[in-house]
């Protein structure tokens, strides 16, 4: 979408889609390139193991093909960007890291346990239970909304795709950065976005990441779901950062 320079690549989260990353590009100048990782959208599935090196390689192929100089990643997409930056700290001129789930250590908290439970229902094709589990992770005031229920059913179908279901099993034990000190070499201005009361993406991780990146600014939203309750402010925050000279 769009045209000209700069070129920004947008990477979604696990079981996410271009539909969910497209709003982040609203108001961003230049060309915008939206990625579907393997097994997502129309991208081919694969039996290869899920690792952060693998998703970083997939993202790098798109960055190289389109000459992207800036990157925005959500959750898994943020992890892919971090892995790339730990390997090639000079690669990007600007970064936006939305809802990072972890930096340099595996997750063993209750949210990670829930992911493993969800993976079992995904592998079994139990979409009804899986959708119910996804809804219970959302704030109480959102759970009975028709659009939220529709989102949960759609997300359950995505998670049941075999390639994605394997990612749900394999990725929670992994982390994108082996040595956090490697991020000290990333000179690009970075915007780190977190939200309170998000067990899957703790605000403490966003705060830690902002401390590790030398040129980072941090934005923590109130709880309730970024796209459900804070969409307009989120768009303004991202476009103001990326469009600033």
CATH number at residue 13: 3.40.50.1820
Q: Range with the lowest mean pLDDT among 26-30, 47-51, 82-86, 202-206?
A: 47-51
Flag whether 1 is in a domain.
no
pLDDT, residue 108, reads 81
Q: Do residues 61 and 147 both lie within one domain?
A: no
What average pLDDT does the segment 71-87 reach?
96
Q: Which residue blocks in 188-230 are alpha helix, DSSP H?
A: 203-212, 226-229
Q: Do residues 131 and 117 both lie within one domain?
A: yes
Taking phi first (over 0 means left), then psi (-120 to 50 degrees means alpha), and beta for anything else, what does residue 127 get? alpha
Q: Do residues 86 and 193 both lie within one domain?
A: yes
Q: Do residues 127 and 228 both lie within one domain?
A: no
Dist CA 236 CA 20 (whole Å): 16
What average pLDDT does the segment 52-58 reach?
95
Residues of the domain holding 101? 7-106+175-243
**Of 120, 142, 168, which marks where a domain is finished?**
168
Q: Do residues 125 and 80 both lie within one domain?
A: no
Flag whether 2 is in a domain.
no
Q: Is the pLDDT of residue 38 over 80?
A: yes
> Using 50, 70 and 90 to split pLDDT, how confident is the model at 211?
very high
Q: Do residues 235 and 130 both lie within one domain?
A: no
pLDDT, residue 171, reads 87
> Using 50, 70 and 90 to split pLDDT, how confident is the model at 183?
very high
Q: Is the pLDDT of residue 227 over 80?
A: no
What average pLDDT does the segment 102-117 reach?
86
Q: Do residues 38 and 114 both lie within one domain?
A: no
Q: What DSSP character marks residue 49?
A: P
Buried b (16+ CB within 10 A) or exposed e, 40-73: beeeeeeeeebebebbbebbbebbeeeebbbbbb
The closest alpha carbon to 13, from 133, 141, 124, 176, belongs to 176
What average pLDDT does the segment 80-93 reach?
96
pLDDT tens digits for range 119-136: 889 888 899 998 998 888
């Amino acid at each position: 979408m769009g045209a000209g320079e700069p070129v920004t690549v947008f990477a979604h989260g696990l079981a996410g889609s271009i539909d969910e990353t497209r709003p982040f590009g609203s108001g961003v100048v230049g060309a915008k390139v939206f990625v579907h990782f393997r097994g997502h959208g129309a991208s081919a599935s694969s039996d290869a193991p899920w690792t952060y090196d693998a998703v970083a390689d997939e993202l790098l192929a798109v960055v190289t093909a389109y000459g992207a100089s800036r990157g925005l990643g959500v959750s898994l997409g943020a992890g892919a960007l971090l892995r790339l930056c730990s390997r090639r700290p000079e690669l990007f001129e600007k970064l936006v890291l939305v809802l990072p789930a972890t930096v340099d250590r595996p997750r063993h908290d209750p949210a990670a346990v829930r992911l493993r439970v969800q993976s079992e229902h995904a592998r079994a094709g139990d979409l009804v239970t899986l959708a119910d589990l996804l809804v219970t992770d959302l704030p109480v005031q959102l759970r009975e909304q028709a659009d939220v229920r529709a989102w949960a059913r759609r997300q359950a179908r995505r998670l049941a795709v075999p390639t994605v279901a394997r990612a749900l099993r394999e990725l929670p034990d992994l982390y994108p950065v082996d040595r956090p000190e490697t991020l000290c070499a990333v000179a690009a201005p970075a915007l780190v976005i977190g939200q309170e009361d998000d067990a899957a993406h703790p605000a403490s991780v966003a705060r830690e990441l902002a401390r590790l990146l030398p040129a980072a600014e941090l934005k923590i939203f109130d709880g309730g779901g970024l796209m459900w309750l804070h969409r307009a402010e989120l768009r303004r925050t991202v476009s103001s950062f990326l469009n600033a000279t």
